Amino acid sequence: MIDEGPSPEDIERFSDTETGYCPHCGSDIWDDVSRCPSCQSWLHDGTSHRDPVTNDFRKRFLIFIVVAILIAFLWSFR
């Protein structure tokens, strides 16, 4: 039998603080699991409570800002 993780009914039954996201694959999983049922990765640091899509957007936005500041800095010495 394959564990498919929490069902939508299970997630509704529990509070939002008891589920998180796998930092490796982004699957919705329980906070207290030690291994992700989707990708089988060990969760040594626990689950992430940020949505993987939002987390990826923040990283890309930060890189964009740093590059823009660097270009502006180099342009000022031209």
Query: pTM, whole model, 2 decimals?
Result: 0.47
27 contacts 52 by C-beta, under 8 angstroms = no
Q: Has residue 40 been placed in a domain?
A: yes
What are 50's two structure tokens? Answer: 């940020």
The answer to the question of residue 70 being in a domain is: yes
Residue 18 located in a structural domain: yes
Could you give the number of structural domains in the chain? 1
Residue 41, domain member (yes or no): yes
Over 80: is that where the pLDDT of 64 sits? Answer: yes
Confidence of residue 66 (pLDDT cuts 50, 70, 90): very high
Q: Where are the beta strands (DSSP E) in 1-78?
A: 19-21, 28-30
- Residues 9-55: tens digit of each pLDDT: 776 666 555 788 888 888 888 877 888 888 988 888 777 777 777 87
Domain assignment present for residue 26? The answer is yes
The pLDDT value recorded for residue 12 is 67
Comparing 70 with 19, the larger pLDDT belongs to: 70
